[in-house]
Amino acid sequence: MSNYEKIIPIVNKITKKYDLCDHCLGRLFSKQLHLTSNKLLGKKLNQKYVKKCYVCKNLFDNLDHFLKLMLDASTDYSFKTFSVGSMIKPSIVDRDDLIRSLYKLKGIDSIKADITKELGKLYSKKTKKIIDHLDPDITFTINLKDESCELYSKSITLSGRYVKSERGFFQKQKPCKNCSGKGCRVCDFHGITEFDSIEGAISKLLFKKFGGTTTKFTWIGGEDKSSLVLGNGRPFFVKIQNPNKRNAKLSNVTIDSIKINHLKLVYKSPQKPLKFNSTISARISAESEIDSKSLKKLKVLTDSPVVIYEKSGKRSAKKIFNVKSKKHSKNMFTLIIKAEGGLPIKRFVVGDDIVPGISKILDTPCVCVEFDFLEIKV
C-alpha cells in the first residue's frame, strides 16, 4: 500500500466532520507524502465543495490583500532578499491544533508557517526578490488580526574618517530631548534634532544617501570641541538603522570645515575596542618660567608607560613612543607626542591621577591650553 493510499481513511474521517480548504487539508499530509504544494494536494484530496474553511475561515483566499500591503510597505526600499513573519488570531491556531491532536498528526507545518510561506512565494514571484530566512535585507511582519504590515530593514554599517580643520565643533551630538535619542516624531525618528556636530554632519549626509532612522557611532578616540583633527583624520564606524537603500555612491565630502573621507560599507562595527596610536600637539602654559633644559626632562616619558587611575578604581597604562617640545615664551611651549590612543591629554598635563604627569616632571603646575590631533593610526 502506498503512502497516499494509507492517508485516505484519515482524510475521509476529517472531511466528514470538518470543512477544510485545499491549503489546510493538504498541509496535514504534504510532508508525509514529500510534496511541496499543500494546495494541489488538498485539491486532490477534497471530495466536496467547501464554502468556509473550519480552520482558516478562508484566509488563504485573501492573501492578495496582504501581498498588496507588502508591496506598498516596500515601495521606498531597495533590497535583494527578504523574509516574512506573521501574527494570526489565536482562535485559528487553536482550531488547527485541535485537528492535529484529534487525528494524531505529527511533524506538520503550522498554519502560521504555511501562511508566511505562501506570502513569501507570492511576493517573490511578483518582485523577483529572493527569500532568505537566515539573514534577509528586509523582514515583513504581517498582522492578520488587524490587517497591517510592518517592515524592518536590516541595519548597514560604514567606516570612514573625518578631518576637522576648524575649532568649535563637538564630536557627539546631543540627543533629542523628547526621546533621549531613541527616535520619535519630534526628531523624525533620527534621535537627534540638531546637526551641528561631527556626528550630526555625518548623520545628515548618511540619511540623505541611505535614508534610515537612527545612527549609532563607534568612535576611534575623541577630542575636545576646541581641538583640530588633521592628517588623514579620525576613524569611525557608524551603523544606520532601518535604511531605505543598501548601496550608494560614496565620495569624499566637505561640510563646513568637516571633511568626511574614505566612506565605505563594512560588515559590522568592531566588537572590541581597536588599538590605535595618536600623534598629538599640545600647547601648554606653565606657572613658572620654563627653559629648554627643563623641557628635555620630558624625554623620560618614553622610558615607561604612563599610568592612568580612574575614579571607578580601574587602572590603565599608555605607552608614549616619541616626545618633542618647542618653547614659545617664558611660560608657553608646545609638546608633540606619539602615544597609544586613549591618553586624556588635559589630565596628563595637570597630573590629575596620571603618573607621571607633565607638571610633576617639570616641577611646576601646567595646564593644556589646547591640543590637536596630527595623525591617528589604527
Residues with a known catalytic role: 224
- Residue 323, beta-bridge partner list: 337
CA 28 to centroid of chain Cα atoms:
40
Q: Are residues 20 and 114 in contact, defined by beta-carbon separation less than 8 angstroms?
A: no
CA-nearest of 36, 39, 33 to 53 is 39
Query: Is 60 exposed, middle or buried (CB count within 10 Å of its CB: 0-12, 13-18, 19+)?
Result: buried
Helix axes 111-127, 63-73, angle to 10 degrees: 60
Burial class (CB in 10 A: 0-12, 13-18, 19+), 91: exposed
Task: For residue 110, give Cα distances in angstroms to 18, 27, 93.
Answer: 18, 8, 8
Distance CA 72, CA 74 (A): 6
